[in-house]
Chains A and B, each alone.
Chain A
Amino acid sequence: MAQQQPILKADDLSKRYEDGVLALDHLNLNVRPGEVYCLLGANGAGKTTTINLFLNFIPPTTGTCFVNGIDVTRDPLEAKKYVAFVSENVMLYGNFTARQNLDFFAKLGGKASLTRDDYYQVMRRVSLQEKAFEQRVKNFSKGMRQKLGISIAVIKDAPGILLDEPTSGLDPKAAEEFLEILDELKKEGKAILMSTHDIFRAKEIGDRVGIMKEGRLVMERTREELQYEDLVKIYIDYMKSEPLTLS
């Protein structure tokens, strides 16, 4: 069977900031439909820069980002139609209820004619407590906010999802619930790129895992390969190693 075209693709992507720091160095990766790609790495490794480049929050120095085949730099608005984003600290409007937040972001995502029931259905799907639907978000726990954040991604129904350290700071139960939702989305055929520090969950959910160090993708393993390797050991070895060699 022929391989599907990647939804998210980084092609020789580099980013050097104005202060001269090389945050990303010739990154090549792609994420296909129904695949979860986990980017591991220490702080400053370039994970968030990669996500920022996919969202056109910053322009690349060289290389190209593609979302659903669309060059993000050339046509950022069109590219954003096909990608949803959930950040580490899902930031919502505290004075709005969960439903009002969902309604606002759904409209920004191009879903203009959804009903209250549609919103409730999505929130139920991400296991947000029923009583929280019409509560103001400012009183939500981090887990609840993450669930609402993923429900925003779900309702957008984009083929690509970018997650920037989504399980950071979540308690184990909330993190597990979050991964269950991701698994469902993956089964629906979403291409998911997730940056994380969480090696165990990366191994659990990732179809492929990449390790980044100082802006470079120094290692990439598939789920199958990781069955026979100790990801923790590999990760620690790479973090200790120098100089960098591309695996």
Chain B
Amino acid sequence: MFKTIVKKEILETIFSYRFPLFAVICLLLIPLGMYVNQANYAKRVRDYGEQVRLADKAASALSIQDIMAGTVAIKGFRPPAPLSVFTQGFESALPRYYEFTQEGFRPGESASDDESILSVQGKVDFVFLVQMVISLIALLFASDMISGEKESGTLRAMLANRLPRDTLLAGKTGGGFVALWIPFFLAFLMGAFVLMSSAFSLGGGATARVLIILAATSLFMLTYFTIGIAVSTSAAKARTSLVAILIIWAGFQLIIPKLADMTARIVHPIRTETEVSLQKSLLVSALDMEAAKELGRQYDFIFEGAPEGTADDEKSPERKKWEGLRDDIQLRARERKAQQLAVIDETYAQERRRQLSLAVNLSLISPSAAFARFISDVCGTGELERAKYLEAVRAHQKALDNDLFSKVKRTLMIHGGGRMSMGFSAMPVDPAKLPKFSITGATIAETFKANARSLLSLAFWLIAPFAYAYVRFIRYDVR
């Protein structure tokens, strides 16, 4: 019985006018989207290679004077994510590089240099197509599966036989979904072929991630399909189903994610990055000034009345005392600065985390938001990548502080009467031995762990509508 229903459902869907339309949409848009994104990725890889080459060249020519003067920043570039061909995510919003200085790191320009009209309308990548187009088609396909059969009378004809209702529902769901999935799968294969024929490398765990994308997308389609079935079992007429699914689709795709973000901004408002950056700059200036005054005071106190040239005489006891005090003041100032900057950073990070957490939790009511979040993390263009990028930046700053910046000391002093003086000291540094910036991407296990809530949301939307449809259909009035 089940097989008979599945077969009939597949054939009926294939013979329907909607099927060729869907097949054309899939077979055209998915491979085309991948081709365009692959070309864009290849261009960004070339740009990245060139920028890294220039940055390396600049770093190798770096003189200690440049670092002492603070005129040259060391740059760490983020390589484009290969799987951004599936979804752009934060790819174009993330800084292309970070600059590292003695004062800390700061983001460079973002990768968004696309001047096409899509910058305004949204990129047509794989996830966009699945979220906006395929989900709607899945809903449309499923929306009249029960109500349509009731309206046409075929439901009565079927149930006049020894056919259990749960078998009928399972068969219709299975068959309808398979008919929907086949063109999608073929389009996905074509897309993969397009990628491979463009010398796109699927090595380094990318194959496993592509398979995860395929599986997650299939489940996402099934989710929307079962939601459509659930709607269909609740409506007496196909037209009612259609209206209901359009409302649901708009709610899941557009309203919930936007509303979640807006609600989070209202409930947990945060300062802008510029405000925080300004606060940090002011703090640094104030602390530097304080340290400079203290250094000037101590300098004046030690060398006051000493014979001329004592300050430059490395063997003089005053000079030794001064160096000890200077290092001590600078160390304390550095520690204080680091501590207070960390407090600002942590407070801001907490504010952001709280806002983000609320936005994410609310948006996960929508399976589309959950899907997009999961896939972008699988592709290395999501929230997880942003966190990993920042983690790598912090680690690199620390490494540079140890290997480079700590070896260059600038001593600003403000003496009595407001006179300022600057002293430099530096230890030799081999630029070739400076640490290279690199990002360790999230592993698949980390991705799954970080997306537990997204996966839970998807699982809920997969199971709950089917359970609802089952309960409704068992008592469905077939007349």
Residues of A within 8 A of B (CB): 52, 55, 57-58, 77-78, 80-81, 83-85, 87, 89-93, 95-96, 100, 104-105, 107-110, 152, 156, 162
Contact = CB atoms under 8 A, between A and B. Distances in A.
A83 B156 CA distance: 13
Interface of B: 1, 4, 8, 11-12, 15-16, 152-154, 156-164, 477-479
Contacts of B159: 55, 57
A57 B157 contact: no
Contact of B163 (A58, A90, A108, A152): A108
A84 B8 contact: no
Contacts of A80: 160-163
Contact of B157 (A81, A85, A95): A85
Given A58-B477, A85-B157, A91-B153, A78 B8 contact: no
Contacts, number: 68
A110 B162 contact: yes
A91 B478 CA distance: 13
A104 B478 CA distance: 19
B154 A93 contact: yes
B16 A105 contact: no
Nearest to B4: A107
A57 B478 contact: yes
B231 to A, nearest CB: 22
Contacts of A110: 161-162
A83 B8 CA distance: 22
Contacts of B164: 77
A82 to B, nearest CB: 9
A152 B153 CA distance: 15
A152 B157 CA distance: 10
A81 B164 CA distance: 12
B8 A93 contact: yes
B479 A87 contact: no
Given A104-B4, A107-B4, A78 B162 contact: yes
A77 B158 CA distance: 12
Which of A89, A96, A108 gathers the greatest number of chain B CB atoms within 10 Å? Answer: A108
Contact of A95 (B16, B160, B163, B479): B16
Contacts of B8: 93, 104
Contact of B479 (A57, A85, A162): A57
A95 B153 contact: no
Contact of A91 (B15, B16, B157): B157
17 contacts: A55-B159, A58-B477, A78-B162, A80-B160, A80-B161, A81-B162, A83-B160, A85-B156, A89-B153, A90-B153, A91-B157, A95-B12, A96-B15, A107-B4, A108-B162, A109-B161, A152-B157
